[in-house]
Each structure stands twice: as C-alpha cells, then as structure tokens.
Chain A
Amino acid sequence: MDPMLIGIVAIGASGFAVGLAAIGPGIGQGFAAGKAVEALARQPELRSEIISTMLLGQAVAETTGIYGLVMSLILLGIAQNFL
C-alpha cells in the first residue's frame, strides 16, 4: 500500500479513536453526576462522601475514553513514520 495513504488513514483513525471513545465516558459521567445530584438533594448532609464516590466512579468510567486517547496518540506516532 502507498505509505502516504497509510499515514493519512492513521491520522483520520486517530481522530475517530478519541472522538468515538469520548461518547461512552461522556454519557457515563453525566449519568453519575446526575445521580449524585439526586442523592445530594435527598441527603445533603452526606455531601463529601457522595462527591468523593462520584469522582471515583467517574474516573473509572473515564478509563475507556483514556484508552481511546492513548490509541490515538499511538496512531499519530505511526502516522509520523509514514508522512
């Protein structure tokens, strides 16, 4: 295959990798934040505990998005070799 084409495809794929991987964590984090607000409205005295649990859950949900970012950086590194 044409090396130039491989480079261009790698750059496009890196954009798609981070963009598509951002959808899932976005939904998940928003859901977690919404549920945390519900819990806060019900029990405002547990504020610090709810927020720390929410942040921990969001961070775990974020992992797949970060994998997408790492993949996209790897793809950009590959593209550099071909362009």
Chain B
Amino acid sequence: MERFMEAPGVVFRVGDIPITETMFVGWLVMLFILGLGAIIRRTLDERPRGIQTYAEIAVNGFHAVVSDTMGADKVGFLSFVGALILFVFISNILGVAGVRPPTSDVNITMGMAILTFLMTQFYRAKAKGILGYFKDFGQPIALLFPLNIISELAAPISLGMRLFGNILGGTIIVALIYDVFPVAIPIPFHLYFDLFVGAVQTYIFAMLTMVYVKMAME
C-alpha cells in the first residue's frame, strides 16, 4: 500500500507517451462496461432473466434520476450520464480490491470535467443561438461579463478537483492505515472511504453534470 503515496507508475509507453497505471485501469474499466453491455445486449429478451434484471433496474434508476433532475424533455442525456455514473462508480470502488482507482488521477477527473464543460458550452449555444450565447454572459448587467466568464471556468475545475481530491484523499488515508495496522482494522475504513464516499461522489458528479447542462440550456 506504500506505493499509493507515490505518483502512479508507468505500465508501458506508446512512443514518448507514458501510459500510467490509472489510465490503464481506466481503459480496463471501460472495456468491462462495454463487454457487460455487449453480453447483456446479446441475450436481450422480453422476459428479463438473470443479469438482464439488474441491468433493467440500473437503467430504470438512471432514467428516474435524469428525468427528475433535468426534466422529462431532456431524458436524451441518459446515455451520457449513465456512462459517466457507471465509469466513475466502478472506478471509485476499485480501491477495495487494492487497485489504485482511476479517479484518483487528476488527468482522468479533469478530462471528464472538461468534457462536461464543452457540453455545457455546446448546448448553451444550441439552445440560445450564438447571439444568445454571448448575451447570457452579460446577465444581469453587461458589467458582470468578466465575472461570469470566471464563474463559468471555475465550474469544471471544482467539478474535477472535487472527485479527484475525495478519492485521492481516501486512498492516501487507507494507505496510511495499512502502514500501521496491516490486517482487519482497515476494513471499516475501506467501507467508508471506498464504498460510501465512492457512491456519494459518483452521485454528486453525475448530479452536478446534469445541473450544469440543464442550467446552460435554460
């Protein structure tokens, strides 16, 4: 567990680009989600059976969350938000297995936050037109234009840093506990820092993403 205190190690290199442990595990998580989707898709049936039941429960849950938060007319964001929830949640709880969670890497969380930022900008322009897009920054008076731009840029930074800080902080605390008590004692800390914080931060990340996109479209 000592290695969690260091920067993520390099697994292999593609040319000059180092592929770190967190990136590699992140790809594995994506492959896992894709594979799961492909398997469930192949055995899709009118009468749900086995794993399809759980998949339907999950999709219904995501559907309820998205339509409650964004409104029934924006339920098309379900695929994006659902993918985000699955990736972030599986990444967060990987700490239980002793794997460094991909979300404890600032590059991955900020990548997702920048994706959300680009989405908010795109949908703001799409919903209001280019003129309305710039007019939106002059609300409530034109004097606040620079302040509105700063607050717009602060949103993705706080979104990415929040997930990164929570997960990395939890990982470091559990690693410190492992140094002192190598057996049994870390289990409740794993439950709290990996499972509880992981689930809550997933919910919050998805929720804030939805709120930002919704606010941009209003």
Contact = CB atoms under 8 A, between A and B. Distances in A.
Interface in A26-83: 52, 55-56, 59-60, 62-63, 66-67, 69-70, 73
Nearest to A68: B165
A70 B161 contact: yes
Contact of A59 (B161, B162, B164, B169): B162
Contacts of B168: 69, 73
A67 B161 contact: yes
Contacts of B162: 59, 62-63, 66
* Contact size range, B: 10 to 19
B200 interface: yes
Interface residues of A, number: 12
A62 B162 CA distance: 8
A60 B165 CA distance: 13
A60 B161 CA distance: 11
A55 B204 contact: yes
Contacts of A63: 158, 161-162
Given A59-B200, A59-B201, A63-B158, A69 B165 contact: yes
Interface of B: 158, 161-162, 164-166, 168-169, 200-201, 203-204, 207-208
Given A63-B161, A63-B162, A66-B161, 9 more contacts: A52-B207, A55-B200, A55-B204, A56-B204, A56-B207, A59-B204, A63-B158, A66-B166, A66-B169
